[in-house]
Amino acid sequence: MKSDKVMETVKEFPAEFDLEELIEKLVFVEKVEKGLEQIKEGKTISHEKVKEMTKMVKVVWTEFAEHKDDEG
């Protein structure tokens, strides 16, 4: 993250603020900037692909949980 972006973010805060809130905001801003850069670079996953991945995770998790119950 560039220092000018940090300064811009700090200026958005009131004269007194909680440092934790500033850190959370800076982390958020950085993640958004990284995401926008990934979009520019074409590093994205389609909605359909995410749905497929979610289904696979659910299946694996269900099988794991059932196996864990059998050991119990």
d(CA 37, CA 41): 6
33: CB partners within 8 A, 6+ apart: 1, 5
d(CA 18, CA 34): 25
Is the pLDDT score of 72 beyond 70? no
Give percent of the chain above pLDDT 90: 85
Q: Give the predicted TM-score (pTM) of the model.
A: 0.64
Which whole number is the average pLDDT over 2-25? 96
Give percent of the chain above pLDDT 70: 99
Q: Between these two residues, 7 and 72, which has the higher pLDDT value? A: 7
